[in-house]
Amino acid sequence: MFSYYSYERHWADGLLAAFCVPVLVLWAGYWGVHLIGLVYARYKFHRKDHLAPREEPWPGVTILKPLIGLDSHLASNLESFFTMNYPTYEIMFCIQNVNDPVIPLVNELVAKYPNIETKVFIGGKKVGTNPKINNLQPGYEAAQYDLIVVSDSCIRMKEDTLMDMVHNMTARVGLVHQMPFTCDRTGFVSVLEKVYFGTCHARIYMSAGFLGINCATGMSALMRKGPLDEAGGLRAFGCYLAEDFFFAQTFQQRGYRLAIASSPACQSADTREIAGFQRRLTRWAKLRIAMVPLTSVMEPVTECLLLGALGALAARCLLQVDIIVFYLLHILFWFLLDWLMLSIVQNGSLSFNKFEFVVAWLLRETYAPILFLRALWDPVIQWRYGVFKLRWGGVVEEISPPVPPADETVKVKL
């Protein structure tokens, strides 16, 4: 009888160790992600190498701007593209709807800056399911330069941003992307956005960039047109909703590297409600689940609160440490490293105080697993007034076309 229970206990201990050891390895390994992200962000961001004297001339650049509707920040966002310090570039404004209220704003800016070469394309061209690709297609076809920037309407450029992106486009690089961040704005939603993009998102983004993993986003990206044309042009990516991921994948398959620009992408979106920002995060989670399901399934267990709880339980079972002390120290050090990462990305004084940071940080860490489960439960995506369903591999099926209601044409739906 004694030997039977001894055997049973030994079997249970072995099973417990088989669970706890990988958990502790994951917990310890993720601190490496923190350190890689911090060190690479400190090395990469806010460098001014592009301002040094340059022997070869700056190449011409075509900027593709997809537009739909108006928001309170759009005028200043668009005007920043007319005031950049770069010798040769053209702006292609691509507007889907002939009645879009953004058209007078674009015409006003074009008239205000006659020295900047611009073209306006209205109506788009149906080449796939992705409405952004359809909108951009006429501008892409008319582009006269080999370097293409795809830049969303929420992006605001600094005077030297384009120069920085082109400087990072070396001979071996096919795509230069900016890590998404946010402009300083008022309101708690802007605090929440800045905390997300400057902590959790920055950590993963910079670690993946350092390791050569495809993490490119299409908010602001500079690409070589030649390899895209070889792949079939923009129309070849019209079947995907996350075209940015497949842009980058195409360059990698052709032997090019991806590079992160030294200046983060300054978003100035008109998000006024927490629910609106959460919808964006849920939509991005749905895209990741469809494109890289094996990687995405690990997302919840790499969040601070859940990973800390699992690590504390494993450490208690294997090392007999105090579970409460372990968990609280885990959260404290995670919090401090996130504050450090945000400070590096911001590169200056933050627009909010430490108390607001604590509240926003705790809120984001709390709802992150919930948003992931919501994305897993419902693969349908509502985006730009259209409704889409994702298939495995990232291919998208259109459920209803992206036609804005007549009474909502003056607002941008995020």
Active site residues: 244
Q: What DSSP state is assigned to residue 240?
A: B
Cβ neighbours of residue 138 under 8 Å, at least 6 residues apart?
A: 94, 121, 123, 124, 125
CA dist 383 to 147, 216, 324, 355, Å?
28, 20, 43, 33
- Count of helices and strands (H, E) across the chain: 14, 13
Q: Could you give the 3-state DSSP secondary structure of residue 127? A: coil
Q: What are the structure tokens assigned to 291, written together?
A: 């494109």
For 171, the token pair is 């001979």
CA distances from 18 to 22, 303, 322, 323, 328 (A): 7, 22, 21, 19, 25
In the beta sheet, which residues pair with residue 373? none
Beta strand pairing call for 220-224 and 147-151: antiparallel
Cα(281)–Cα(401) distance, integer angstroms? 22
User: What is the greatest pairwise CA distance in the chain?
Assistant: 93
